[in-house]
C-alpha cells in the first residue's frame, strides 16, 4: 500500500499544520537548534535530555536555555511537566508508554523502540529519520492490536489490512491534550462506526485510508529536522 495524495489528505494537512507543525517564524534560530537537538537526542538515547545536557552540548547558558525551553513549550513543540523542569514529550515522541509503539532497526538485529502520541505521529517517525519502521498500535475502540510496517518511506503493510485513521479537528491548547487523543487507528469502518455511536456527539474530522494517513505523516514530518517546515 503506497502513500497517496488526495483532496481529503490535503484537507487534513491544512487542518493540522497550524497546530502540530512547528512553523519556523514562531521560533528563534536558537530555539530551533534546541528543538532539533531534543528530537535527535531522544532518537539516539530513547529518553529526553536533561536541561544541563542541552546547555553543555549546545553551549547555551541556562538562562537562555530556560527561555528557549519556555517558548518551545508555549508554541507546543514540546510539553513540560508541572514543575517546568522536565520534558514529557516532543512531537512525535512521548516519554510515557502509549498505544503507539514504533521500532526501528538502527543496527542489524538491534531494534530501538519508541512511543508516539498518536497515529499520525507514529507514522511520521520513519519520514523524520529516513528509516523503515514497525508500528505496534491499538485501535481506538476495541483496543485490538494492529501491526504496520513502513518501508522505504513509501509503502505501508498492515495487519489487519483495512486499517484506517480518524483525523480529528478537535484542537485546543496543547495538541497532546486535545487533537492527539482523536488521531487514532481503527481496524476498519465497522469499528469506527461503533466508536462514533459510542461518542454520542459527532466529532469533526476526516477518515483516512492508511495510504492517505501515510501521506499526511510524510508531509508533516519529513522536514521536521531541517529548515523546510511545511
Domain locations in the chain? 7-21+96-221, 24-94
Please tell me the class of the 7-21+96-221 domain.
alpha beta
Rounded mean pLDDT of 90-109? 89
* Count of Cβ atoms closer than 10 Å to residue 75 Cβ: 14
pLDDT of 22 over the 70 cut: no
| Higher per-residue confidence, 15 vs 211 | 211
Which among 138, 150, 229, 230 has a CA at the least distance from the CA of 185? 138
pLDDT reported for residue 57: 98
pTM attached to this predicted model: 0.90
CATH T-level assignment (fold) for domain 24-94: Arc Repressor Mutant, subunit A (1.10.10)
Rounded mean pLDDT of 182-196? 93
Amino acid at each position: 500500500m503506497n502513500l497517496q495524495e488526495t483532496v481529503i489528505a490535503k484537507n487534513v494537512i491544512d487542518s493540522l499544520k497550524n497546530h502540530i507543525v512547528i512553523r519556523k517564524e514562531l521560533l528563534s534560530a536558537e530555539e530551533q537548534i534546541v528543538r532539533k537537538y531534543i528530537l535527535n537526542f531522544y532518537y539516539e538515547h530513547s529518553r529526553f535530555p536533561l536541561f544541563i545536557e542541552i546547555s553543555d552540548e549546545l553551549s547555551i547558558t541556562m538562562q537562555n536555555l530556560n527561555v528557549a525551553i519556555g517558548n518551545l513549550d508555549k508554541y507546543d513543540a514540546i510539553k513540560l511537566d508541572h514543575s517546568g523542569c522536565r520534558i514529557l514529550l516532543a512531537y512525535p515522541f512521548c516519554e510515557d508508554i502509549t498505544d503507539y509503539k514504533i521500532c526501528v532497526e538502527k543496527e542489524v538485529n538491534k531494534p530501538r523502540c519508541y512511543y508516539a502520541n498518536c497515529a499520525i505521529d507514529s507514522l511520521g517517525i520513519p519520514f523524520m529519520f529516513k528509516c523503515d519502521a514497525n508500528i505496534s498500535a491499538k485501535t481506538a475502540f476495541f483496543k485490538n492490536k494492529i501491526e504496520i510496517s513502513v518501508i522505504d518511506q513509501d509503502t505501508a503493510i498492515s495487519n489487519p489490512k483495512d486499517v484506517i485513521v480518524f483525523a480529528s479537528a478537535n484542537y485546543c491548547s496543547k495538541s497532546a491534550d486535545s487533537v492527539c487523543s482523536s488521531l487514532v487507528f481503527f481496524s476498519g469502518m465497522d469499528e469506527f462506526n461503533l466508536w462514533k455511536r459510542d461518542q454520542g456527539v459527532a466529532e469533526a474530522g476526516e477518515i483516512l485510508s492508511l495510504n492517505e494517513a501515510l501521506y499526511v505523516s510524510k508531509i508533516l514530518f519529513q522536514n521536521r529536522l531541517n529548515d523546510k517546515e511545511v
